[in-house]
Chain A
Amino acid sequence: MNKKKFSLGEFLRGNSVPIMFILICAFCIPISGFSPTYLLNEIITRLGRNAFLILSLLIPIMAGMGLNFGMTLGAMAGEIALILVSDWQIWGIPGVVLAMIISIPFSVALGLLCGKILNMAKGREMVTSYIISYFINGVYQLVVLYMMGPIIPIAHSSIKLPRGYGIRNTVSLLNMRQCLDDLLAIRVSGVKIPVLTLIIIALMCLAIVWFRKTKLGQDMRAVGQDMDVARDAGIQVERTRIISIVISTVLAGFGMIIYLQNMGNLSTYSSHSQIGMFCIAALLVGGASVDKASIGNVFLGVILFHLMFIVAPSAGAKITGDSMIGEYFRVFVSYGVITVALVMYETKKRRAKQSLGRQLEEDQRKGEKA
């Protein structure tokens, strides 16, 4: 009896974030007044749209590099690839596949850069990767806003700014809109299921499971837990860390392309800016922490986080009469959940250090009694 109670407390504490979100959703869904079919439809759409992006975060966590705020780099690589592909007017599935292929060299180059910089800033990977994403955003704007046109040939005026160079604020991807999602899509009582996209995501999950079993995956886990021990055992620590970031960046690039083909248009200068934050928040909502994340966390996270995202504005509007409240609320919750997760991670690190003293006192007291 006693033992069961203890494990329940442990369970609640270990999963406090998902539980909190279930409560928020349970509170908001009835108020928002959305029909279950609508919600289910939305959730499945968003699952297909976001899951791949979030999966790209798993590998750096495994390698002990924390939440990869630098996944934005991959997103930018994906966007550049999409801009080029849409300029070449290659649409539909071939366009998506080609964009993915083109994104690879960009992602790899950015991933290498990011990995190298993070190796110079061990112990504060997260804040550094976060600043890198801002820095590269500047470079991205330089390329897209000024170099596309004069240096990188852009043929179609439909995506060019009227001034003759630079890319418009939005690039329409109408001709490849949901082409992955629609292929093989089925409808089950009004809910559209994008089978192909889900298959791709499932394959990705299998790939990650397989990757964990490889030598490289094992090395990453070792590096993630203790760099010095891994180095003593002859594992190339720096190289392994760079590889993990490169893989993450490439996957994020693919993920961004999947995301954008679903959206159907590309906001050239803002699509990527929030994507990292939302993906990380979703992963954390799924119960992941800075040093531990599973595929299950990804899916639970997508569902809960986006459920909140859908229902919060209208629930907020119903309660306060102002639709903006809900909008702000969901932004607040996204940031809040990241803050809470970071704080929990740091306090856990500290608590682990403090346990031995209690043990000594205990021993001595026992000795006294005996």
Chain B
Amino acid sequence: MSESVKRSGVQGKLRSFVQSFGLPRLIIAGFLLLLFIAAPMVGSDLGVQLTNTINRFSWNAILVLAMVPMVHSGCGLNFGLPLGIISGLLGATLSMEFGFSGPMSFVMAIVISTPFAILLGGGYGWLLNRIKGGEMMIATYVGFSSVSFMCMMWLLLPYHSPNMVWGLAGKGLRTTISVEGYYDKVLSSFLQIQIGTLVIPTGALLFFALLAFAMWAFLLTKTGTAMTAVGSNPTFARAAGIDIDRIRMLSVVMSTWLAAVGILVYEQGFGFVQLYMAPFNMALPAVSAILIGGATVNKATIMNVIIGTFLFQGIVTMTPTVMNNMIHMDMSEVIRIIVSNGMILYALTRKSEASR
């Protein structure tokens, strides 16, 4: 008797754990674990694999962190991330154009991108306040429109730096621009630790930790509390005298700025500035990463960001090598598409979240 009660208790606990964590997340975490176990068996070096994963984590984590403010204020998942990325790209290219180099170019890129992020984010926030309830779809298309608009601008804006423009024409930016000599690995190489084949990009991780801490601290402040409340129940917040539109606007600007910084950090690790259609598909991986980490359409924590980015990037980096070695087929791209979009679909169709 008591035995069965106990078992049902354990079962119940297990079930509630699965429910709260979400089956898809468990599957993904299990899959990644499997990959880590399989990696040495199929002959790939675990240290290299881990290094890759951690590296990619450090490039992407801030882009994922950019999701947090808008989720908190109830604007949903920021499919309009490309707008922030564009601010970052403007900062990067202008910083190079003005002739800054080395670590200074990185600092200046952030400084220059900030007004763009505030301006673009402000306009974007204004728009989102006009269309409450339909944010996600419109965010997607705002992102797309702005990317395609900037495609024209990259060609037309009067950039001259020979490192960036097409050699023959002498104008119009190239599709990929190397950041070598500017801010290549400026964060990653800072305080870098090497243990065997494992390399830890300490600086980049610290930089992320700094921003994540700032975000955590912000959510503890009065305004941060208001932001969470706006997302949790906008009517309650309004009845408590909160200016909902202002808070939402703030969250959008924050998200846009973080995306701008995020792309710069991505570039310093990746080594190239990618222009034109490149920002186009950068929103979906970030969105699905935070969802994999356990966030929902209206709740997200810093922990979700860390876990999600790690799982997502882990799968992205591990599958090609492990799969290739195992079955001699590179299915990683397909798996990435199915996993990331499947995760977003799962989040969109959850009953509890469909109300908003």
Contacts and interface: CB of A to CB of B under 8 A. Distances in A.
Interface of A: 117, 120-124, 126-128, 130-132, 134-135, 137-139, 141-142, 145-146, 320, 322, 324-325, 328-329, 331-332, 334-336, 338-339, 342-343, 345-347, 349-350
Find the residue from A131, A320, A336, A346 having the highest chain B CB count within 10 A: A131
B218 interface: no
Contacts of A336: 145, 148-149
B195 interface: no
A332 B334 CA distance: 28
17 contacts: A120-B349, A130-B140, A135-B338, A137-B337, A138-B338, A138-B342, A142-B331, A146-B331, A328-B151, A331-B151, A332-B145, A332-B148, A336-B149, A342-B138, A342-B141, A349-B133, A350-B131
A131 B155 contact: no
Given A131-B345, A141-B337, A335-B141, A124 B136 contact: yes
Nearest to B139: A127
A135 B347 CA distance: 13
Given A142-B331, A325-B155, A332-B149, A124 B354 contact: yes
A306 B79 CA distance: 28
Interface in B245-289: 284
A329 B137 CA distance: 22
Nearest to B141: A339
B307 interface: no
Given A146-B331, A328-B151, A332-B148, 20 more contacts: A121-B349, A124-B137, A126-B137, A127-B136, A128-B348, A134-B337, A135-B338, A135-B344, A139-B338, A142-B334, A145-B334, A146-B334, A320-B155, A325-B152, A332-B145, A335-B141, A339-B138, A343-B131, A346-B130, A349-B133
B155 A339 contact: no
B341 interface: yes
B31 to A, nearest CB: 15
Interface of B: 79, 127, 130-134, 136-138, 140-142, 144-145, 148-149, 151-152, 155-156, 172, 284, 329, 331, 333-335, 337-338, 341-342, 344-345, 348-349, 351, 354-355
B345 A335 contact: no
Contacts of B152: 325, 328-329, 332
A135 B345 contact: yes
Contact of A123 (B148, B341, B342, B354): B354
Contacts of B345: 117, 128, 131-132, 135
Contacts of B344: 131, 135
Contact of B148 (A117, A128, A134, A335): A335
A139 B345 CA distance: 14
B337 A138 contact: yes
B338 to A, nearest CB: 4
B349 A117 contact: yes
B341 A135 contact: yes
Contacts of A322: 155, 172
Contacts of B334: 138, 141-142, 145-146
Contacts of A134: 284, 337, 341
A335 B338 contact: no
A349 B131 CA distance: 9
B186 to A, nearest CB: 31
Contacts of B79: 127
A135 B130 contact: no
A343 B151 contact: no
Nearest to A329: B152
B338 A328 contact: no
Contact of A347 (B131, B136, B155): B131
Nearest to A316: B152
Contact of B348 (A127, A332, A334, A343): A127
6 nearest interchain CB pairs? A138-B337, A346-B131, A332-B148, A138-B338, A135-B341, A328-B151
A174 B119 CA distance: 51
A322 B344 CA distance: 39
B343 to A, nearest CB: 9
A342 B136 CA distance: 11
A127 B137 contact: yes
Nearest to A122: B354
B29 to A, nearest CB: 20
B119 to A, nearest CB: 18
Nearest to A341: B141
A249 to B, nearest CB: 17
A139 B344 CA distance: 15
A130 B172 contact: no
A343 B127 contact: yes
Contacts of A332: 145, 148-149, 151-152
A338 B148 CA distance: 13
A121 to B, nearest CB: 5
Nearest to B145: A335
B349 to A, nearest CB: 4
Nearest to B169: A322
A246 B132 CA distance: 30
